[in-house]
């Protein structure tokens, strides 16, 4: 994957998927705005490097992901995946 090679060129080590997800899981429910921005950004970058593992993670945890994090996390997704995630989230959103 081209993006992964790009990342690896600048970073000597790309952490394993499971290591990164453990960090995200510990802060996914944190109410702070910038923590949620970090969750979203981390998920977006995780998807860039590990798309096959990250997309199922998003589907499994979509109801936990805040609107702030969702916006950043889904920037690079295919349109159909983003729309499907939105449909799953919609019944759980507060009016």
Tell me the pLDDT tens digit for each residue of 54-66: 999 999 999 999 9
Residue-wise pLDDT tens digits, 61-92: 999 999 999 999 999 999 999 999 999 988 76
Which three-class secondary structure state does DSSP give residue 65?
A: coil
**Using an 8 Å Cβ cutoff, are 92 and 63 in contact?**
yes
Q: How many residues does this entry show for the chain?
A: 95
In order, the DSSP letters of 69-83 are HHHHHTTTS-HHHHH
């Amino acid at each position: 994957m081209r993006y992964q090679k790009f990342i690896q060129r600048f970073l000597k080590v790309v952490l394993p998927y499971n290591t990164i997800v453990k960090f995200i899981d510990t802060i996914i429910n944190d109410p702070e705005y910038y923590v949620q921005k970090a969750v979203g950004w981390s998920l977006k970058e995780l998807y860039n490097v590990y798309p096959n593992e990250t997309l199922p993670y998003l589907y499994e945890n979509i109801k936990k992901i805040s609107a702030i994090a969702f916006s950043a996390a889904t920037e690079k997704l295919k349109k159909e995946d983003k729309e499907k995630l939105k449909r799953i989230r919609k019944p759980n959103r507060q009016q």
